[in-house]
Structure 1
Amino acid sequence: MAVPRRLAAAAAALALSLTVAACGGTSGTSDASSTSDGDGTAAKHGAAPASGYPVKIENCGTTQVFDKAPSRVVVMNGASVAEVSTLLALGLGDRITANQQSYGMSEVPGRAEAIKKLPTGGVRQNDAFGIPRESMIGLRPDLVLSTTSYGFDAKNGFATRDELKNVGARSYISPQGCHDENSRLTIEDSYRLLRDMGRIFHVPGRAERIIAASRRHIDAVAAKVKGRKKPNVMMLFTNMTMGGNDFSAVVAKGIYNDILGRAGATNVFENASRTSFADLSKEKVAATAVDALVVIAYQDPNPAAYAENLFKEFPQWPAAKNHTYVTLSDSIYLSPDNDLAVERLARKLHPEAF
């Protein structure tokens, strides 16, 4: 399972991001760029709305004060698409000046294409896979979003939160991203990210509608699979190394397990690590009865091929014998679309319930 150097470096950034990281979704969310809230409130591009400001957000030990809706947003990489997807779901794509996030695919029709069309600011990423300090200042942002505190660390060559404040930019770290471990992330954190962005951009009604639709969708799916036998699932990222063993990108804890549980499944390696990811030997993986495989694609155009290769490597797995696997990308992590992951998993793992 050799990993190309750039993928290995990206995996290191992902590991840092996901273990420092951290706030779901509906198939009915809109990626339109209109900023009308749909409840009688309008926030015109570049202008403060008539009411609702200032807005104060407590974020990782700082108080971020917004006098109007941001209009020059920069989205840091962080090996995530949570932040850019949330903005698009809220219809705020026209507020983005530079976006560095992309998985290359999505469970939401048209989402990957919409992300690809966003401006990048013409910025070249540094060795830490982010926007260098000087380039960030040159973008003249009024809001910078980062999945974790990693995106504001001077040691990585990035602008700090204080430096951004000095040039008039607010900054935001996504839920659970303040610390060095995201094993406590749940679907509720995806909703929190939506709510915070809804408040900042004065579209709270839109955020609440997305959250309400997501809850209804998840509850309906969970009701269908309730009481059924839960398969033991192995979940891992494709083509990535995050440790020294053959399987170091295996999910152990975090929002992934919350989603699995709603879909009527159990993470077979949940107790293999105290942190978000387990670093496992080939022997450990081979000795475990895996009923189903969940492959999370990060910049991988063919995650199904990865699953097929694992089945050839471990033909003794019940998953290999039954050819049971699911491929996912952006909906399984912090996302406005967690409900899509729940349904996709449930339909594959419990087809008789649908």
Structure 2
Amino acid sequence: MSMNRPAAAALAAALCLLTAACGSSSDDQSSAKPTEAAAANTKNGYPVTLDNCGHKETFEKAPSRVVVMNGASVGEVSTLLALGLGDKIIANQQSYGMSEVPGRAAAIGKLPTGNVKPNDAYDVPREAMLGLRPDLVLSTTSYGFDGKNGFADRDQLKDVGANSYVSPQGCGQDNSKMTIADSYTLLRDMGRIFGVSDRAEKLIAASEKNIAAVSSKVKDEKKPKVMILFTNMSMGSNDFSSVVAKGIYNDILAKAGGSNPFENASKTSFADLSKEKVAATDVDALVVVAYNDPDPAAYAEKLLKEFPQWPAAKNHTYVTLSDSIYIGPSNDLAVEKIAKTLHPDAF
């Protein structure tokens, strides 16, 4: 989940993820003798203060004009929709065109875009951002607030009354340490910011329960070697440059009862591998991740034919996924779907 994003232009050609921040929450900051309106906010849990990537962000009330930057993610917009906050979004730049959650892709497609003309990084340029008059801007990584690349920086947003938020593990450009816990942090932070912590905790509890139930069924099973990669993506110089090495993917895979044979092939989220290296590795199953690909299964079938020596090819074992394997509210669906593919007899 870490790619350089000089051109999230490479979205269709190189997925710069998800995927998000050093955004840990701090204690609420109380105001002294509030006015009647402020007293009502205090009763509802405001003000809320978060320390996010070294920036102190204080919310006096729930945001109502939210801009969701692209960042080659759907984690932020999916989290808002899962919390029932879609009506707070005035401009959304995130979309994968598909989802494991019924109706989510369509719901994302119906959100306003703010009529923004994206810049070369396929995201919201400074002038357009300020013209939207947001009160909260969400970015997958700190790149979205980098003034040197034509974005409104966090101080400029503060000057026009807008808070900003970088998703968990997104303070830098390396998401290789991301886990499912970061998805829960994103949910909790959005719950606090919008005053819907009860909804966030219910979603987290349901996810944890589902993952625990799945993991308990496969904990004693042998862990197949699983290759996770993106369909038709080029992120490096070799034939296989979109193979997952580290990140939230491995956490999901482990909970589903699998292992990643390419985990040590790179220190970052993705490995850039030759065809020979891939051919020499025993692969028991494929997880093919699609970004706006109408037929990811066709890509999986192509790989199985290309490497007939794989146990995955001999047993025809693969699963396709889209948004549930990234940071976001639906990681339990990815765990369940992978586990059922790897260990069908356990279910």
Q: TM-score, normalised by structure 2?
A: 0.90
Letter in 1 for 2:188: R
Letter in 2 for 1:117: K
User: Which is bigger in relative contact order (C-alpha 8 A, separation at least 6)?
Assistant: 1
Q: Which runs of 4+ in 1 moved over 6 A?
A: none
Match 1:85 to one of 78, 91, 99: 78
Which 5+ residue runs of structure 1 have no aligned equivalent? Answer: 1-5, 24-46
Q: Does 1:145 align with 2:138?
A: yes
Identity between Structure 1 and Structure 2 (%)? 75
Letter in 1 for 2:211: I
The residue aligned with 2:10 is 9
- Alpha carbons of 1:265 and 1:138: their partners in 2 closer, same or farther (altered >3 Å)? same
**Deviation for aligned residue 1:12:** 6.7
Q: Is the 8 A contact 2:239 2:273 kept in 1?
A: yes
Q: Is the 8 A contact 1:7 1:240 kept in 2?
A: no
Q: How does 1:102-121 map to 2 (within 5 A)?
A: 102-121=95-114
**Deviation for aligned residue 1:9:** 2.1
Letter in 1 for 2:119: N
Q: How does 1:1-354 map to 2 (within 5 A)?
A: 9-10=10-11, 14-15=15-16, 17-18=17-18, 21-22=20-21, 50-354=43-347
Q: Secondary structure at the match of 2:50?
A: strand
Q: Secondary structure at the match of 2:156?
A: helix
Q: Secondary structure at the match of 2:281?
A: coil
Q: Is the 8 A contact 1:53 1:66 kept in 2?
A: yes
- Separation in structure 1 between the aligned mates of residue 13 and residue 340 of structure 2, nearest angstrom: 33
Which 5+ residue runs of structure 2 have no aligned equivalent? Answer: 1-6, 23-39
- Separation in structure 1 between the aligned mates of residue 135 and residue 229 of structure 2, nearest angstrom: 36
**Deviation for aligned residue 1:301:** 1.1
Q: Is the 8 A contact 1:13 1:129 kept in 2?
A: no
**Coordinate RMSD, CA, aligned:** 1.7
Letter in 2 for 1:143: L
Number of equivalent positions: 324
**Deviation for aligned residue 1:155:** 2.6
**Deviation for aligned residue 1:178:** 0.3
Letter in 1 for 2:245: A
Letter in 2 for 1:262: K
The residue aligned with 1:35 is none
- Post-superposition Cα deviations, 1:88-114, rounded to whole Å, max 9, x if no partner, equal 000000000000001110000000010
Q: Secondary structure at the match of 1:266?
A: coil
Q: Secondary structure at the match of 1:289?
A: coil
- Post-superposition Cα deviations, 1:226-283, rounded to whole Å, max 9, x if no partner, equal 1101100000011111111111111000110000000000011111111110000011
